[in-house]
Amino acid sequence: MDPHSFGGAADRPGGQPAQGRTAGRVLVVGPYRRLRRGSADIASQTDAVRDPEARLDEAAGLARAIDLVVVEALIAPLSEIRPATYLGTGKVEEILGLIKSHEVELVVMDCALSPIQQRNLEKEWNVKVLDRTGLILEIFGRRAKTREGTLQVELAHLIYQRSRLVRSWTHLERQRGGFGFMGGPGETQIEADRRMIGERITRIENDLKKVQATRRLHRAGRQRVPYRVVALVGYTNAGKSTLFNRLTRAEVQAADMLFATLDPTLRALKLPHGGKAMISDTVGFISDLPTMLVAAFRATLEEVIEADVILHVRDISHEDAEAQERDVDQVLRQLSIDTDAGHRLIEVWNKIDRFSPEERENLARIAARRPPERPCFLVSAETGEGIDALLAAIEERLAATRITLDLRIDATDGAGISWIHRNAEVLDKHLDGDRFDMVIRVDETKRDIAIARFGAVPRDQDD
């Protein structure tokens, strides 16, 4: 079988598998390095802190996320990385036997392969080989729906492929679906390809500048309202979209699938006392996220960078929850976000419905021992448990820079009362004769209007 003949779902419009055939039989290999204590040749930080079985399960989940049929997944322990094939000769031969016995069409290597290593493995095994970076790019190519998301994925893919130049570039003309990273005959016109890639990168970068300018206009419009921004971040499949739907009553795609959300989604969030904020659901993070994707998606993640409050959603039931937390922390720091800034970051321990009552009590005790400036909230986005407390905490954080005012307003002043409810949080309201006594909380930009129009008095000056 020609190693370049494998055709994934991305080769078809819309990225869906053709009727009557499977998307591809896949062998997933986890070539994880053994930890050598006291040696200069020590495993990477990812190898050191993540459980190999959990890493392999995640890699298989990535493959299944694009409808590939995983026939087997195995760990291939490494003492050292071989420059030619990454794996040792014996392991290469062992995997060749599995490929033949399972009629495998694609091997996914859960690591970053050099172009030479990828080409050599394809020659040895006579099947297509995809590394972790290529697989993640393939998923992103399938999931991007907006013009900006599509451009960003294509830019990241071109940057990744620029040094490889071993595949067909027919995907450059596609308008939707995935980008076909796994299909197409080998390319031989290297110089022509290099020139074409460079020209395409320049065009994409120019198109992205226009799209980003439009986003800046939209953001400026929101700031004039102004609405505070709450951003959801977290490891992929942590339950961000389910929580987003729970908080906003929206219907964003929420699935038990890695990278179910790619393009950012903004919705209004109603706070307990009537105030509003904008909440953003973003792409999930993952360990060893390709560097070019972090750079390419920086514009998409601007909502996170500029958010007033960041909710770090964690799947607290996952066996690698601690390692996932470190991965998210690392990506946030790459985005120049200070994860130690407690006033912006709130941890949300999701999926507590998967625990027994005794286990939940233990989690609650662990959460209670955290420093006051770094609280966490136990929730189930699926059942709604803990959501009210989380909303109250969000409101409290957003209110930290807002001003509390006392005012009296004629009960017949419908326009004034309407303005207050549209532009402020009403903390207290009661009728005294023919006038309402109110306690409201407003943004600094609305303070002067409230004082001038209603004679409002800052709460700390009220006698």
**Please, which contacts does 113-119 make with residues 24 or more away whose CB atoms are closer than 8 Å?**
113/86, 114/83, 115/163, 115/164, 115/166, 116/83, 116/84, 117/83, 117/84, 117/85, 117/86, 118/164, 118/166, 119/166
* Fold observed for domain 25-35+46-130: Rossmann fold (3.40.50)
String of b and e for 434-459 (b: at least 16 CB within 10 Å)?
eebebbbbbbeebbeebbeebebeee
**Architecture (CATH level 2) of domain 227-399:** 3-Layer(aba) Sandwich (3.40)
- d(CA 406, CA 428) in angstroms, rounded, equals 9
Look at domain 402-458 and name its CATH class.
alpha beta
3-state secondary structure of 129: strand
Cα–Cα dist 386/379, whole Å: 4
Interatomic CA distance for residues 122 and 248, integer angstroms: 48
Cis preceding-peptide flag for 226 (omega within 30 of 0): yes
User: Which structure tokens are listed for 235?
Assistant: 């490891």
* Bridge partners, 105 (sequence order): none
The whole-angstrom separation of Cα 229 and Cα 169 is 40
Give me the tens of pLDDT residue by residue for the chain, a chain 463 residues long.
333 333 333 333 333 333 333 358 999 999 998 755 444 444 444 445 678 998 999 999 989 988 899 999 999 999 899 999 999 999 999 999 999 999 999 999 999 999 899 999 999 999 999 999 889 888 887 777 777 778 888 888 888 888 776 543 344 333 334 445 454 444 456 677 778 888 899 998 899 888 878 877 766 665 555 578 899 999 988 999 899 989 988 655 555 555 545 455 778 888 887 778 888 887 777 777 777 676 656 656 767 787 889 999 999 999 889 988 988 888 788 777 877 766 788 999 999 999 999 999 999 999 999 888 788 999 999 999 999 999 999 988 888 767 889 999 999 999 999 999 888 888 889 998 999 999 998 877 788 889 999 999 988 644 4
Q: Which pLDDT does position 460 carry in this prediction?
A: 64
Domain residue spans of the chain: 25-35+46-130, 142-167+191-225, 227-399, 402-458
Residue 327 to residue 44: CA distance in whole angstroms: 13
Q: By the 8 A CB rule, do 62 and 139 touch?
A: yes
pTM summary value: 0.70
Residue 267: partners with Cβ closer than 8 Å, 6 or more residues away: 244, 248, 250, 278, 279
DSSP strands (E only) in 101-227? 106-109, 128-131
Going by C-alpha positions, the residue among 226, 277, 228 that lies closest to residue 445 is 226
**Identity of residue 99:** I
Q: Which runs of consecutive H residues, i.e. helices, occur in 377-443? A: 387-399, 414-423
Q: How far apart are CA 8 and CA 17, in angstroms?
A: 8
Answer for the pair 186, 168: CB distance below 8 angstroms, yes or no. yes
Same fold, 25-35+46-130 and 402-458: no
Q: One-letter amino acid identity for 293?
A: L
- Residue linked to tokens 């009661």: 430
3-state SS class at 56: helix
Q: How many CB atoms lie within 10 A of CB 418?
A: 10
Chain centre to alpha carbon of residue 213: 22
